Amino acid sequence: MALNTSDIAGRGALSLSPRFLRAVIRTAITVAVTFVGLLFVTFIIGRVMPIDPVLAVVGDKASEEIYQAARKAMGLDQPLYVQFLYYLRDVFQGDLGMSLLTSRPVSEDIARVFPATLELATIATLFGVVFGIPMGVVAAVNQGRWPDQLVRVLGLFGYSMPVFWLGLIGLLVFYGVLGWVGGPGRLDIFYEDMIPSVTGVILIDSLIAGDFEIFSNALSHIILPASVLGYYSIAYISRMTRSFMLEQLSQEYITTARVKGISETQVIWRHALGNVMVPLITVIALSYAQLLEGSVLTETVFAWPGLGFYITTALLSADMNAVLGGTIVVGAVFVGLNLLSDLLYRLVDPRAR
């Protein structure tokens, strides 16, 4: 009896469904356990820090009765495991507490400042990808020669130079002396609050509003901090690309492709780089996550009102709800980007499926 092609396809899809569901369940469990572990760490940090959250609320001149009432209202009289369960409940409901510095919910503060960090880190990562990958390829192809040495020296400077020093020098030269870029902040004061905030990303919001003058002004402000932050990304991605390419260029399939008469350009940029792109996805995702987390000094130097600047200000003001809330967001970004890189890895490399 002949079988219908659609029946075979349907049976194949059904046979794959249990495997797919198991993979989805395993991934969901891994992400959930990782996130709960992150919350446990932040909870413990909040309890061992030498800062009394009750005194931060009521003040050090409050009476003992007021202090104990506030402590009970905050649930701090309960056992630690009960406090942790309350903490989990609040976080999963989106409640990260109230900021002592701004007197607003921490979740609202983070929703306001995170787009600025996202904008800065995204452009910095684009710099890293656009410049870092070609630099790594050129260094690997010219191993031991001057292009390789130049790329390695530039990468070494990227790792060695303090971000705050590079940022201050950049402001002095390109803003103070040459006037090529905008100064600290995301916009000139004149342009602030002149366009509606749709995404929180000024470059996108100005395009949505059709205001190219504000777009140009925002671009002039972000180009320098993104370049300073992106220098680290360029150094990291170029070094990893060079390492991956050297490994691929020594493989037998590269020799076979050259023997067959395939042009050197295709051998390098299509065959070798094509195989390198699989591990590079993880490298780029981790670089992006590190820039989202590690932009504290850059945001401080350039007065960039992002998450890093917010956490730093909160830490100096002993605003632990804001510090821990920002830490949770950064950790969630790490988990999310690792999950995304794993999914992209499976899409690019059929062997990983």
Tell me if 184 sits within 8 A of 224, measured CB to CB.
Answer: no
In whole angstroms, give the CA distance from residue 326 to residue 106: 8
State the Cα–Cα distance between residues 229 and 302, nearest whole angstrom: 11
Report pLDDT for 131: 92
Whole-number pLDDT of residue 134: 92
Q: How far is CA 254 from CA 145, 215, 244, 279, 336, in A?
A: 21, 46, 14, 18, 35
Task: Give pLDDT tens digits for 116-146.
Answer: 888 888 899 999 899 999 999 999 888 888 8
Q: Cβ distance 75 to 84 under 8 Å? A: no
Token couple for 83: 């406090």
Spatial separation of the C-alpha atoms in residues 313 and 325, rounded to whole Å: 13
Predicted confidence (pLDDT) at residue 59 exceeds the cutoff of 70: no
Residue 156 region by backbone torsions, left for phi larger than 0, else alpha for psi between -120 and 50, else beta: alpha
Whether 125 contacts 284, CB under 8 Å: yes
Amino acid in the structure at residue 317? S
Q: Phi/psi of residue 119, each to 5°?
A: -60, -45
More reliable by pLDDT, 156 or 318: 156
C-alpha span between 316 and 319 (Å, rounded): 8
pLDDT tens figures, 234-291 = 988 998 999 898 888 888 888 888 888 888 888 888 888 888 887 888 888 888 887 8
What pLDDT score does 135 carry?
92
Q: How far apart are CA 235 and CA 192, in angstroms?
A: 34
Average pLDDT over residues 37-41: 83
Instruction: Give the architecture-level CATH label for domain 110-352.
Output: Orthogonal Bundle (1.10)
> What residues does each domain of the chain span?
1-47, 110-352
Instruction: For residue range 21-31, list pLDDT tens digits in order.
Output: 776 677 778 87
Rounded Cα gap, residues 344 and 340, in angstroms? 6
Q: How far apart are CA 195 and CA 186, in angstroms?
A: 13
**SS3 state of residue 98:** strand
Across 86-112, average pLDDT: 83
Query: Rounded CA gap, 119 and 222, in Å?
Result: 9
Listed in order, strand segments (DSSP E) in 164-257 are none
- As a whole number of angstroms, the distance between CA 223 and CA 217 comes to 10
- Cα distance between residue 300 and residue 307, in whole Å: 10
Looking at the predicted structure, is the pLDDT value of residue 292 above 70? yes
How does pLDDT run across 170-192, given as a tens digit for each residue? 888 888 888 888 888 888 888 77
Over range 79-84, report the average pLDDT.
79
Give the residue from 179, 149, 154, 151 showing the smallest Cα distance to 166.
Answer: 154
CA angle 164, 169, 173 (to 5 degrees): 150
